[in-house]
Structure 1
């Protein structure tokens, strides 16, 4: 999910009307959503462009879409320009000041004259310079920088210096952007006035309103990134609209995390890497209402077909955040990670010994020792002379002039020489730079749940922070009038709720955040209220009970009302139909009420589905082929899962296949999976065993 639904990029201009034919050095705009840009639009002058931008923003506002608008012009001047000129340091008030004084038509404007009037208010020469009107001198506005200075204003802001931008005071010549700033402030002021409280200006105001104005710079990315277009300006607005609209909420949290200051900020200047295509994650749209719909005419759905459907249709529903490695264990990478630097960064020694230039032929050798030594973290500062050796310790950089290390146990050493027997291959006992990881090469893929070993790998290649998916919040709800909490009174017609504690622990073991939604009675309106509340605090919901098509199966009935309901008749034992649907855009998995069936369906279907929703790759449990220690004649038509455990390397199964025997889940250490077709199992028959441990995160 992104912080903004739409991104509008505006390439501004301070010049006159450019004519009806699209051309360069003119105003272009481009609107994009979720990484997909519309065709760039040419605007012949500022009046046409301002009207178009206003119309777009009204439409986005009416549609309920949050919109970011990026203008490629400075939103402020270097401090203390505003306060010196007006007595007020507020850069937004300065927009109004300019709007009151700028005159602008398609064929004429007063930007040069106004710059001269402003210069007259400052000591020295400047701050504006470069009169671009040929044959027409402007009082107080020099044509060149000769004698420039003494006005007390820095020529560039900190953000301009950081991203290689130009001076907002230069009005003509190569790199001049001063004119578009003067001619842009009035438009920005009018947009603020038109949209009022619906509009914020970052970083001067918090970007929490439906429309956010930001300052952009269309040279943050290399020109090689630009899409094909006859006009560079058009390609630029398309590129930056696409890249900014593809950012995740976590990326936006990083980009917008900057305190308000009087000079403003170029959006993205501190985090250009987030705009690179390799760093961006395509924004998945909300799950479709028909994401759970099976093909028409399907009666009994095979397990593999059901799993393939879930794998194809589900996508991440959580945002992203950036964490230090110390807080990232168990989290799911939101994007691939590349090595920040090579590991090892420099050739180094794998042993304690002596560094020399190899190879050495067979026979006895005596080499003089160069003074000094190389140790890990304390490299040898110099070059080892030809034919010499140098003392070196494990992990030390291989000194210049050497490429080989002889193990200290293989030499006889004095204070001045070493003696050894060849042959010795070039590169022996030396680790090559980057032999483990090369800077810029892939290290870990997106969708991977980070392990302690992964953290070591990332740290070794210099990665300090990673972008991960936010944890998936999974609600667990039991349904049925007959249920009671353990420890409370229960009649003979009531049972204790075994599913909720089991499923809550499953969710936690799978690496998600469990949310206890309690129990719901067999009352449709009460269940409706519980689901609606759950959808506000959960990313997915597991229910048990009420998932069939009977009179008291209220989960199925309510999901059916949403139009997103699917009742899957899966050819699996134990298990009943799975009720799947969306409630307020939150996926709901309706599991059977029987604890054994609920657990089997949770392990086989809900676990990989929730992993996809959490941003992880689809993962099948690790299985082993083992001999059976039981006898069974299986009929065709359904895949069966038997509670099992290994004894002396063979799989024995629980004494009863009845799904009401909850204790069999505790007895078992895994499941035996029998195929869809008929089969006869006798002791020694090879069967597929899935240990419960393979279902963990």
Structure 2
């Protein structure tokens, strides 16, 4: 098979009237990607206009001897058994033709889909399978809610939808996610395309993929994170438009990377190939995500993102933190990661349950199961059925009313059973059990999905994954998850006075304590720490290091050189680049914080004093880097405890004292507040925060204590 020259992705709509004249959401968007990397989209107000425009483009492709892949975002088939009843044989393509004869869809989008659904429901016993309609539509054959259906002869989902739990079932016709309506009005158009193009068009997976034009079902939400990043770069764009462009570009990129054919081959044997259809990319999500990766580069931070409001000179701590929170966003890309390797990684999308936990109702104890309705008060005697229910070995039959079955912890509750009595509360003899009633219905059982239901969000985007999270994700059937790349944090020390520990140094030299400390902090917070080394007071050398670092890391931490003195070269270089904001923060220890961009990479200039650098890293750099990493803003948890010290504090600056708790839970502070006393960092187990105003603290007075664990240490 030669490659595709064009990829078209269609975001469909089941509107009953034309979409707004001005481009809008929930309308029809068509993206077209080419081998040269270009991708453009068009907006269409009606289905007939969209298909006419698409047909014209496909005719042009054939005339130019180009091959085209065309994806539509609605189901190409229904669960197994539907086509045979409606079309007379188990063939999705036969069903397309049948629906083309039933659906009428005017040039103004007016259509009869609800009436057709009612007629189709009448072919099956009970009420259903289609559901959902406007309350004003008098059509009893289509219930308003899915719970009103009594039909259970067809599966609720296709096989592919068991792997894509966010996908809505094709029986749903109304309100959000009504892909059932999209399919009912869409499949007749696909039938018309097949008849128009004849043997130059094939429909995958029902037919081969060698034709000049290949139709395929797609699901743009497979690339939700890529769309989110695209939205950050183009905040005025409509999501539907972004979705089709991102997916069309990704499919073309997959072809050029040699992975597109693997997506076609991922469809399993069985009904999907004749009746149900399959979504292109499902079963090969990693390849699709990788193909989208070149388009997942987040937009860089704005040059003025660190600019202070006009007239501001001194910045209170809370205002500084609020500004950082508002102006920073993730700067890292994302990809798939095995759950087993995901400890400490940041979720790039909500993690949704592939199946419920527990997947089925089961017993919480070893005991005996029965139907509670068969029991009453007083002494109860029930005969036992032969066999038992055990974890991994369910009882294969229905337990008749008035009988009980031996059941073990974790075993699925058999049909006919809704209650379990503990074995310790039961007497067993002669094939019978005896116990005292009444027993509460549902006792000692776990409901299916009582922990997490299938399709529910188990963990949110931005979650930093813990060992417990890995257990939960695995229990819910997730083997791979989308995570952000680790934030690459470059750490650079500056100043002629610094030498590395271990070298012989005179009293005019200072051992570099900040770089190992900051590298360790970055690693402890789950980032990829990159040692950028040490640069003396040489502006040209510093420029060279920053230039190289900008291509290696996502954020740069420097210490020293952040003020405005003659040898403060970090500030000077950032000023020359026009991207320096020197924040004089009303904080002790600390105060100068240089924030800027170097070739688009954020630079955080910390104070040179190790104690001040440590405190500013915890208070300011940690939440900023969490935001940049995709983890969201972090706020440390503090606790009110009694003071074990005395102190008179002047107003104007927030102060952080090195502290730890005494045996009776009072906050002790280090003997000296001097910023040069590095030993106080090792002595301390946390920080006492003294608010901006004046304080006269005596022993026993309440103070706010933040253990280092609240800062992720």
Q: TM-score, normalised by structure 1?
A: 0.68
Change beyond 3 A, Cα 1:314–1:645? same
C-alpha contact 1:623 1:689 (8 A) present in aligned 2: yes
Alignment of 1:61-72 (within 5 A): 71-72=68-69
Pick one of 186, 191, 194 that aligns with 1:176: 194
Which whole-Å CA distance do the structure 2 matches of 1:347 and 1:450 have between them?
A: 28
> 2:83 maps to what in 1?
none
5+ residue gaps, structure 1: 1-6, 12-20, 54-68, 75-161, 166-171, 185-202, 205-213, 226-237
Which whole-Å CA distance do the structure 1 matches of 2:29 and 2:323 have between them?
A: 47
Which whole-Å CA distance do the structure 2 matches of 1:176 and 1:327 have between them?
A: 46
2:704 counterpart of 1:688: yes
Alignment of 1:71-470 (within 5 A): 71-72=68-69, 174-176=192-194, 179=197, 217=215, 219-221=217-219, 242-246=242-246, 258-259=258-259, 269-271=280-282, 284-359=298-373, 360-470=375-485
C-alpha contact 1:347 1:398 (8 A) present in aligned 2: yes
- 1:40-70 deviations in Å (ceiling 9; x for gaps): 69999999969999xxxxxxxxxxxxxxx99
> 1:507 maps to what in 2?
522
- By how many angstroms is 1:684 displaced? 0.6
Alignment of 1:592-671 (within 5 A): 592-648=607-663, 649-671=665-687
2:506 counterpart of 1:491: yes
- By how many angstroms is 1:465 displaced? 1.0
Which whole-Å CA distance do the structure 2 matches of 1:345 and 1:516 have between them?
A: 47
C-alpha contact 2:9 2:247 (8 A) present in aligned 1: no
> 2:98 maps to what in 1?
none
- 1:586-607 deviations in Å (ceiling 9; x for gaps): 1110000000000000010001
Which whole-Å CA distance do the structure 2 matches of 1:601 and 1:249 have between them?
A: 43
Which whole-Å CA distance do the structure 1 matches of 2:365 and 2:383 have between them?
A: 20
> 1:547 maps to what in 2?
562
> 1:579 maps to what in 2?
594
Q: What SS does structure 2 have at the residue aligned with 1:537?
A: coil
C-alpha contact 1:367 1:389 (8 A) present in aligned 2: yes
Following TM superposition, the consecutive aligned residue runs of length 4 or more in structure 1 with deviations greater than 4 angstroms are: 7-11, 26-53, 180-184, 214-218, 238-241, 244-268, 272-276, 279-284
- By how many angstroms is 1:219 displaced? 3.8
Q: What SS does structure 1 have at the residue aligned with 2:405?
A: strand
Change beyond 3 A, Cα 1:439–1:523? same
- By how many angstroms is 1:375 displaced? 0.3
Between 1:476-485 and 1:456-465, the stretch displaced more is: 456-465
- 1:281-307 deviations in Å (ceiling 9; x for gaps): 998521111111111111111111111
- 1:385-443 deviations in Å (ceiling 9; x for gaps): 11011100000011111100000000100141001101111100011111111111111
Which whole-Å CA distance do the structure 2 matches of 1:255 and 1:415 have between them?
A: 69
- By how many angstroms is 1:221 displaced? 3.9
Q: What SS does structure 1 have at the residue aligned with 2:602?
A: strand
What RMSD in Å do the two structures reach over aligned CA positions?
4.5
Which whole-Å CA distance do the structure 2 matches of 1:216 and 1:680 have between them?
A: 78
C-alpha contact 1:27 1:49 (8 A) present in aligned 2: no
Change beyond 3 A, Cα 1:432–1:619? same
- 1:504-563 deviations in Å (ceiling 9; x for gaps): 000000000111111011111110000010111111110000001111111111111222
Change beyond 3 A, Cα 1:609–1:70? farther
Q: What SS does structure 2 have at the residue aligned with 1:596?
A: helix
- By how many angstroms is 1:242 displaced? 2.0
> 1:199 maps to what in 2?
none
Which whole-Å CA distance do the structure 2 matches of 1:429 and 1:508 have between them?
A: 46
Which whole-Å CA distance do the structure 1 matches of 2:415 and 2:393 have between them?
A: 14
How many residue pairs match? The answer is 531
Which whole-Å CA distance do the structure 2 matches of 1:399 and 1:566 have between them?
A: 68
- By how many angstroms is 1:255 displaced? 9.0
Which whole-Å CA distance do the structure 2 matches of 1:251 and 1:597 have between them?
A: 50
